[in-house]
Structure 1
Amino acid sequence: MAFRVAVVGATGAVGREILKTLAERDFPVKEVAALASGRSAGQEVSFGEKGTLKVQNLDKFDFRGTDIGLFSPGASVSAVHAPRAAQAGCVVIDNTSHFRMEPDVPLVVPEVNGHHLQRFAKRNIIANPNCSTIQMVVALKPLHDAARIRRVVVATYQSVSGAGKEGMDELFNQTRAVYVNDQSQPEQFTKPIAFNCIPHIDKFMDDGSTKEEWKMAVETRKILDPDIAVVATCVRVPVFIGHAEAVHVEFENPLDEERARDLLREAPGVLVVDRREDGGYVTQTESAGEDAVYVSRLRRDPTVPNGLAFWCVSDNLRKGAALNAVQIAEALVEQGLIQAKRAA
């Protein structure tokens, strides 16, 4: 069975990665529509090694007959067009933040809570979590199953691609400006990002947290367990692709590091690279273009009972966005949910 697929936001960094991932994983497509704003209509985007697609105007696109919509156009655009697509019978998998915390929209990481897909039919919309949340919960899932997590303290080191192509351009231009003794004012970020770290992602909230930090807490609870306490500090760093996280976990039950290492090695989507020697860990640049969530620096946290700490790295454009969305589509097919809906 082959499906008609629409990729919304096809000219953006995540949209292009979705098209690449669909082609690489040979998702069974009958037809792919690349959609973006009217000003991008007529451009061509690559569909992996399968050729190019001409971009169509999202505003004028009729979603009737489209089976799956992979959305990454920005929250305000998804707010308008995702319900329109869903009402036309298209199953929407949305990468934006707009629907994530709505109670009747499942928030899914297939390796963690793929069974939640059974609840998508009410709205015909499935939400893709935040990139930093996805990689963390993939690593936490096998540990939580074994010893039940009480509390997570996480500091993130997030690449500029999380802010889109414009963020990547700003890092490039500011870095070049430093070397030629030129001036380059920040536009996408609140302070210069070249050779700098900025502890500020998304808007500030009343309690002093940023919305990115809030997302990590509430999304982890919705995906994994509502009783897990999470405190995050999210930092933008001068790296083009790949998010890293320093994660400290407190469990209800004892879990030694060797057992945790074994559990992580067996977990889907996780690769453990943890040698206690120079270079025996994975960094952000090494994760770029890869599908896995890498875990390194696993060790006991002696400051709390039943504590572990680890370093977690993943490509935020792939597992943090495009790959997870495509995996959701694959899970819908594997579980027979699309076929059942279409037959009905």
Structure 2
Amino acid sequence: MISPGLGRALEDWLDHLRGVRGAPASTLDAYRADVTAFLRFQQEHLGEESGTALLARIGVRDMRAYMAHARARGLSARSLARALSSVRAFARHRAERDGFDATAILSARSPKYLRRLPRPVAEDAARDLIDAVDANAAEPWVAARDAAVLTLLWGCGLRISEALGLDAGVRPLGARLRILGKGGKERVVPVLPVAAQAVETYARLCPHPLVRGTALFRGVRGGPLNPRMVSRAMELARAQLGLPATATPHALRHSFATHLLAAGGDLRAIQELLGHASLSTTQAYTGVDTARLMAVYEKAHPRG
């Protein structure tokens, strides 16, 4: 356990992320676990301070000790890099509040690891997946619901959390949809007629009242749809179609970007549609090679 003082500091930061930046619950849970593990180690490692003063005492050697401990426990380089990102964000927040020097924490280098490129789903496979989840559901309204969700992921490039976070008041969908993404960042995405129609078909069949202020996509009992149910529907569909385990709901978002790029879409425009802060993130999602990037560069650069 961490001390009450550290616990309050952690919850204060999480409340800030929740209230100001609109961070989703899953992200907050991951941050809480990462930072708690770090604070617990430093509390035992330094052995004296138990409150927030502990943070001011952490030096370079203490950060190295934490990283060595984490790796010895079997934490992968990728997971440790994520944990350090959480720790740095927390330390930066507290340093601004309490006025201490957090250089040792903020300058800790994340371990290098090989980034796994996302694997998009081929166009015909994406269509087959949507058709399969539609056919597999036990009830017509559930079939329509699952098809509508997957159509939004592939047709609009939404994250699963963004699709399931839609308010019923967005109906009927117009030509554009305003999305509140990661960090509370808003973006506007175009809505294909087929996606709008899929949502309306679901809404017409849904047995639960879809009124403003409630979730658009519902579970069988009427509550907000759990993303795990969407994943299960895709697991069954991909098994039937012989598709790899990489064919997940999030892979449809990758496919949205990849298929747009293959059709001649501009990388910057795709970045905006996906809601990425960095173009390098979009590059990874689209799986583009250096030749394609250079072609975009030469076409777009004012001196080209």
TM-score bracket relative to the smaller structure: under 0.3
Q: Pick the structure with more helix per residue.
A: 2
Larger Rg: 2
